[in-house]
Structure 1
């Protein structure tokens, strides 16, 4: 077995591009090796701002010889009436490098065809890798790519060197004039010289000796250690600790090849800024880690992570402090200016912000949110109606604040801060911030029902409006983040267990656009389908079988919480042997009744013992199950329905449903239809039947 070491050396790649690129390298190399029919062991990737590295262990040295079957023309077209090969057969044989006498006749689903078996000799892996590695480079996709010099290739940053080593031997890989070799480069400042690579086993240690920590996991641990060391050595405050935000750790890890922490300070006057403002300014703009005391309150300290060792700590810290001070001075000025006027005074100015070109301004959206939030509150929590209207009115006002203009990620947060400053109730202020939650899949949902109500109204308004004007997600295109909006809506409803008619609320949301878009029921149904598909994906991702989820959603998705309860009941009951049998019988019932909708049963027409027995069982089970279904006791209802297994089996064994007499046939269909409707109150269990 052999090994491959492939290093792509570049100018500094943006931090957020590195891990996705490494993931793609691993995935695509595995796919390409599979297509080449080469076996391999572990695939490892490493990356720094100046290099992307792929290592493949235990790589098969040569393709195996194999036989390949080629289907040609039909037997009828390949041979004439005398059994001689036609031009079609001769041409096919010639194209495959064989004699027409070697052609075989095989039976296919389309009939008899000619076939030739070609013996294909495997190639040396060393000969296959150059083309594969070049394609890996050309197929890497980045959020933004660039071209340089006269080259046609695009990449995140200009490629400076290529080092493709197969068992220590340099492979002939050349991309747009960038030639290959066995050399790499060390840290830009600490070890700028080139050096020779030998093999994959010593790769990490060799780079470490040139001040490059190539393993992102190891480098991340070093970043954490350096941040903690800097605080411990320079903060001189008991209990002080850096706030290690996961996203910032990932970013900083991919900004450096060798991390070194520097602790700096800022003027205590900036602590009057809201914590979120301070943290955002440090984290997002400067990539600094905030520092908090043992009580959790922010201290006038921060930690920067440099990409080189520092000799003069004070000089390095002063540079970081100077940059941060300018940013915080701006923030403090904006904060004080914003507080000079109440948040509510900004609401009328929302008419100057376009929500969507065809859907009007943000002021119009706020007014729709107010109406929809009130409608939702009246259904779910009437005592919150006035508060919901107040929150919806103020929810978007901070978009016009100077602070959000400078730090857009603070929208909602500054709304809460300014509402508190204006003396609004704490729950209203909190709901202003929380109506944006969750901000990402799997993120925290609103802690209060008030924030949830306005968050639902906000998302439904956006979904319905965009669908109404045809702005629906297609493929990778989702300009308005509608998938994220739908996932957020689902998360809120699930997280706070809010039961309501989703279709009624979507209809109300569309009515809010009166005079702007057509009130088309098809739009509401499209939105419902869109949300349902996201919901089904969410449930399957949680580990539930697709057929189980669809069994529940196919018969009703209007009330998402009710749907979840039915899914949970089906999940609990599906492992029982009798349920599997009943599911099979119900599938048969569904196929038989088809378009029949009648459920009226004439007992006088029940002649066979098995159908009388089924009718009696159905009557008894319906009396038990119907109240349970109305009380949403779906698991108990399903247990009651399992009592139908034996009577249904006997019915199908002993009774001819499609009797010759019209009345008897219709009566039996009605009996099965009534049974089907009862089962469908919980879910279409026929979808869960496995042959």
Structure 2
């Protein structure tokens, strides 16, 4: 077994590109090696702003010799009436490098065919590597790529060198002006010279000695260590702690090769800014870590992570402080200017912000949100109606503030802050912020029902409007983030246990666009189906079997919370032996009744003891199950339905459903249909039946 070391040396790659590129590099390398039938033990990726690299250990030194079988024309087409090979057979043999006489006749499920057996000699790995590695470089995709010099290829940033070592020897590669070698480069400023490498261990040691931490996980841990050290040295006695935001940690890790943290300070007057605004200013624009005290409140401190070791840390800190001071002065000015006008006064100016070219302005959207939020409140919490309408009217007003213009991620947050300053009810101000939650899948959901109502209205308005004008997600295209909107809607309903009719609310949302877009009823069904697919994927991702989830959603998804209850009931009961048998019987029932929808049963036509017993059992089970179903107590209802298993079995053993007498036949179909309708109140359990081999 051998080892391969491959490094692409570049100009500084944007931090957000690095980790995805490393994941793709390792995954594609594994896929290509598997495709070439080359075994390996492990693939480890490394990356810094100036390099993307991978180390493969236990790499098979050559392909195994293999035998390939190729099926050609049928025997009938391969031989003529005299038993001689036809031109089709001879052409097939030549295409595989064989003499016609070397063809064999084999029997396949489709009949007898000609087969060519080809003995393929395995190639040396060293011979295969240049093409494989070049394809890896050319196929890496970045959010934005660039051309340089006169070369045709694109990459995140210009490639400066290629290190390619296979068992310590250089693998010759040359493309687009690049030539592979055995050298890498250390830190751009502290050790920029080239250094020769002879293997993976040599690579790691050489870079470590030249101020490059090439392993992202180790570098991330070092960033954390450095940030904590800097705070401890500056204000550790005060119980100060850095705020180690995960996203900022990931970014800073991929901005540096040699982390060195410095703790600076800023004027206390800036603490009058909302904490979120201060944190955002430091994190998004300067990539600084905020610092908090024991009470969780911000201290006038920050931590910057440099890419070089600095002798005069006080001088370096003062440089960072000057940059941050200018940014915070702007923020404080914007904050004070914004508060001179109440949010409510800005609402009329929302006509200047386009929501979507075909769907009108943010002002029109705000009016639709107010109407829809009021309708939702009427159905769910009538006492919240006035507050829901007020919050919906103000929900988008902070988009016109200079703070949100400068820091878009503060939308909603500044709405809450300014709302409280204007004297709005705290619940209304909170709802302005919360209607954006959850921001991402798995994110925090609103704490208040009021915020959830406005959030539901916002998402359904967007979904219905975009679907109505044909802006539906296709493949990777989702310009308006509709998948995220649907997932957020599901999270809202689930997180606050809000039970509602999606169709009814989506219909109301569509009517809000009257006079703007055509009122097509099918749009509502498309939106609900779209949400259902996101719901199913989410449930299956938790580990539930697909057939269980679809058993519940296939019979009704208008109310996702009700659907969740039915899924839970089916999941709790599916392990019982009787349930598996009943699911099989129900599948048989579904096949027999087909499109029959009539459930009226004439007792006078029940002649066989088994069908009389089944009817009596149905009546008894319905009396138990229907009240439970009305209460949405689905598990007890299913347990009651299990009592019908034995009568169903005896019915199928003793009764001919498709009797010659049309009335008797229809009556028996109606009996089975009535039984089926009862079970379908919970789910189509026929989907959960597994045939035993």
TM range (shorter): over 0.9
Q: Is the 8 A contact 1:45 1:54 kept in 2?
A: yes
Q: Tell me, yes or no, if structure 1 residue 673 matches structure 2 residue 678.
A: no
Over residues 291-329 of structure 1, what are the superposed CA-to-partner deviations in whole Å (9 max), with x where a residue is unaligned?
A: 111111111110000001011111111111111111111
Superposed CA deviations along residues 250-299 of structure 1, whole A, max 9, x for unmatched, are 10000000000011111111111111111000000000001111111111
Matching residue of 1:246: 246
- What is the match of residue 284 of structure 1? 284
- 2:420 is paired with a residue whose SS is helix
Which residue in the other structure is 2:18 paired with?
18
For 1:513, the equivalent position in structure 2 comes to 513
- The 2-side partners of 1:384 and 1:153 are apart by 59
Contact 2:49 2:254 in 1 (8 A): yes
**Secondary structure of the equivalent of 1:154?**
coil
Q: What per-residue deviation string (whole Å, max 9, x for no partner) do you get for residues 390-430 of structure 1?
A: 00010000000011111111100000000010111111111
CA–CA distance in structure 2, aligned partners of residues 315 and 347 of structure 1: 47
The equivalent residue for 1:227 is 227
How far off its partner does 1:108 sit? 3.3
Alignment partner, residue 77 of structure 1: 77
TM-aligned CA deviation for residue 490 of structure 1: 0.5
Per the alignment, residue 5 of structure 2 pairs with: 5
Note the C-alpha offset of 1:204: 2.1
> What does residue 637 of structure 2 align with?
637
Would you say the 8 A contact 1:8–1:159 is kept in 2? yes
2:175 partner SS:
coil
Map 1:599-678 → 2, pairs under 5 A: 599-678=599-678
For the aligned residue pairs, the C-alpha RMSD in angstroms reads 1.0
Deviations 1:203-235 (A, max 9, x none): 322210111001111101110111111111123
Distance 1:286 1:338 in 2: 23
Counterpart residue number, 1:593: 593
1:28 matched residue in structure 2: 28
- Measured in 1, the distance between the counterparts of 2:204 and 2:422 equals 57
Tell me by how many angstroms 1:95 deviates: 1.7
Q: Who is 2:474 aligned against?
A: 474
Aligned counterparts, 1:248-263, within 5 A: 248-263=248-263
Aligned pairs (5 A) from 1:78-477: 78-235=78-235, 237-477=237-477
Give the drift of 1:236: 6.0
Per-residue CA deviations over 1:16-64 (Å, capped at 9, x if unaligned) read 0000001101111111111111111111111100111111111111111
C-alpha deviation, 1:174, in angstroms = 2.4
For the residues of structure 1 that align with 2:205 and 2:222, how far apart are their CA atoms?
A: 15
- Are 2:685 and 1:688 aligned? no
Offset, 1:76: 2.0
Cα contact 1:18–1:48 (8 A) shared by 2: yes
Residues 363-396 of structure 1 show CA distances to partners (whole Å, capped at 9, x for unaligned) of: 0000000000000000000000000000001000
SS at match of 1:47: strand
Q: CA deviation at 1:114?
A: 1.2
CA distance in 2, matches of 1:520, 1:348: 30
TM-superposition CA deviations, 1:443-467 (whole Å, max 9, x none): 0000000000000000000000000
CA positional deviation for 1:199:
1.2
Q: Helix, strand or coil: the match of 2:200?
A: coil
Note the C-alpha offset of 1:71.
Answer: 1.4
Give, in whole Å, the separation in 2 of the partners of 1:168 and 1:653: 75
Q: Secondary structure at the match of 1:115?
A: strand
- How far is the alpha carbon of 1:164 from its aligned partner? 1.2
Q: Distance in 1 between matches of 2:424 and 2:237?
A: 36
Deviations 1:67-108 (A, max 9, x none): 111111222221110001111111111221222122122233
Structure 2: distance between partners of 1:269 and 1:490: 42
Q: Deviation at 1:112?
A: 2.6
1:455 aligns to what SS in structure 2? Answer: helix
Contact 1:281 1:327 in 2 (8 A): yes
Distance, in Å, in 1 between the alignment partners of 2:108 and 2:358 is 56
How much has 1:526 moved relative to structure 2? 0.4
> Is the Cα–Cα contact under 8 Å of residues 207 and 213 in structure 1 kept in the other structure?
yes
User: Which residue number in structure 2 is paired with residue 563 of structure 1?
Assistant: 563
| Larger mean Cα displacement after TM superposition, 642-651 or 592-601 | 642-651
Query: 1:177-207: per-residue Cα shift (whole Å, max 9, x none)?
Result: 1110010000011111110111123432221
The DSSP-based 3-state class of the residue aligned with 2:290 is strand
Once the 2 structures are TM-superposed, how far is the Cα of residue 602 of structure 1 from its aligned partner?
Answer: 1.4
Pairs aligned (count) = 691
Instruction: Compute the displacement of 1:158 (Å).
Output: 0.6
CA distance in 1, matches of 2:101, 2:616: 73
Q: Which runs of 5+ in 2 are unaligned?
A: none
Q: Which residue of 2 aligns with 1:495?
A: 495
Query: 1:235·1:263 contact (CA, 8 Å) conserved in 2?
Result: no
**1:617–1:198 Cα change, 3 Å:** same
The residue matched to 1:454 in structure 2 has which SS? helix
CA contact (8 A) 2:195 2:206 kept: no
Distance in 2 (CA, whole Å) between partners of 1:31 and 1:561 is 41
How far residue 109 of structure 1 moved from its aligned partner, in angstroms, is 4.2
Q: Distance in 1 between matches of 2:418 and 2:614?
A: 68
- Once the two structures are superposed, residues 99-134 of structure 1 have per-residue CA deviations (whole angstroms, 9 ceiling, x without a partner) of 212212223344332111111111111111111111
Normalised by the size of structure 2, how large is the TM-score?
0.99
TM-fit CA distance, 1:503:
0.7
* Displacement of 1:237: 4.9
How far apart, in 2, do the equivalents of 1:613 and 1:623 lie?
16
Q: Secondary structure at the match of 1:179?
A: strand
